Structure 1
């Protein structure tokens, strides 16, 4: 009965909104990849990148889907589907999936599929580092839902690339929860990882855009301060641009 209820939820408009991933549970993800709805699976795979989930109950099913899809990966749509599976398998951060992905890289498959299998291998190494950061409950606020806590951990992390991905997600999915906006504000006030490097400046520019795009007047002064006195002139220019665009 519980599986039937979940199936009804997953087949509804629940999957048509940008923010659906914030409500997906471990069991929801597992059910999606046990089923055969490739559109739902594609949306679920897009959301896995900052979900923090690394449970084999999800990724064993993704691996099985990938293996089953390989003999059929001969058309554009089927190659795209297999490529998404290969890339997403890496979000597990689990080296047990390396042989499967390496087999695709070394196999006689379309170059796009081999490319994304290689990306999946790279993702395994990256998410082996990131998933523990995302899932660190020492920094969770019990009053907030799990996915907002995971996102807040990404924002506050010491990894610039992880911060940037989080800022892009907030901007693109318009996640303007007060808790998240406050976390962005803290980063843009301290600027403790801002350095004279392309990655650092771009990361803080995305953090600024994420905050500014909310249009929340409460945080406008932070953008004004950045535009006037950020240590990096390029960041000042970004802040000025965002003030014009969103306020």
Structure 2
């Protein structure tokens, strides 16, 4: 009988937690648990604008913030900053320690500023402070991608053969400072093949490819970038190649030359 009573109470408690979220908030919960920072940003903005300050929802936001801020890439900083601001707008002192950690530990100036503003909005700490892990979330959500898995994803994007995938690959290489020679050689091969006659639709993507090569510390791509700076089809592309060459530094060791990659690559027409 006691066991049956415990099960019944447990079910009621679970129901009460679920019922604590409105249908709109339950939809937001699903978006937060998607693992997609773009969706998390949309939720954070909605929480702020619509004043949906339910702690059941804010605890998820706090957990995502703690998981994502240490390794936030440049393209992710705005989303992470919105997570911090939404906690600040709640004026719930439970999240003071979370925001304080971001302010004191992040090395990203923009994120530090937004977290500091959020801390001002929040006010003083009150009650039990939210701590990492209080909300149970799948370990893989918002976790840094292991190096080997990330490199495999980038290679797959390059091999897809379309401009959108190639651009995403180049951005990832640039933002995460990938130094893998096989990946960088493929990007160099594409850039050398396409730069002189590139139509306008390719210029933005090829500019990102130049930036990706420029962040390499090897000095292997100086000749490639110098060629694009001199003979790129568009002023924008030549400008990015010039900046990337300056970032890359002087030539060191064997320079990449067209044809060194024998893997069949796509056409990247669209």
User: Same fold, TM exceeding 0.5?
Assistant: no
Q: TM-score, normalised by structure 2?
A: 0.38
Counting helix residues as a fraction of each chain, which structure ranks higher?
1
Higher RCO (CA-CA < 8 Å; seq separation 6+): 2
Question: TM-score when scaled to structure 1?
Answer: 0.41
Higher radius of gyration, 1 or 2: 2
